[in-house]
Chains A and B, each alone.
Chain A
């Protein structure tokens, strides 16, 4: 099992460009998440999907859109990138609502994005 995969690993954009970050999981998890991690701050939730076809805003959704294409894939799109979106982006998935009583979030390796 690959777990949670993300592409690309690194990306440099110019202000105003658009791009999509891809995320896929092979653990048959219901819930998927997009986070950003900035220096000196904890991980912050951008968007969340509890199941295929549903999405919900997190703490910092402005400037982003998401698509839960199917149970496996959850993409994050930046329509018009801004320097404030320079960050490391993590995708995660979990079984929630869990059947085991233990809800671990599994993280992808991250995408380091720089917006110039």
Chain B
């Protein structure tokens, strides 16, 4: 069993739909990262959170430390949101354990 698991692996949506991507982890963490990998391969960080909820534009990330679970939500999805979304658990030192990613395709 992977230490960081994401679901679903693949997700398709119509433009405007509300998207949820889930991440569960089995290790102790100091923080949970969400990253986006563009179709061209580039990776950018979206959020780092250790408790509660963070919002940036149409993206919302939440974490429940007791349940070892985090979610990434996209409101009013758009085709430009099509990408692979990756969660990563950060342990006590600065090393990340990555999930395998969720491939999202949003159609017009």
Contact partner of A110 (CB less than 8 A), chosen from B4, B41, B44, B100, is B41
Q: Is A48 an interface residue (CB 8 A)?
A: yes
The prevalent SS among residues of A at the interface is loop
The prevalent SS among residues of B at the interface is strand
Instruction: Quote the shortest CB–CB distance from B7 to chain A (angstroms).
Output: 14
Distance, CA A94 to CA B31, complexed state (A): 14
Which stretch from A19-27, A69-77, A97-105 is at the chain B interface?
A: A97-105
Q: Within B21-44, which residues are at the interface with A (CB < 8 Å)?
A: 31, 33, 41-44
- Interface size of A by CB at 8 A reads 24
Q: Is B104 an interface residue (CB 8 A)?
A: no
Binding site for B on A (CB under 8 A): 31, 40-45, 48, 50, 58, 88, 90, 92, 94, 96-97, 102-107, 109-110
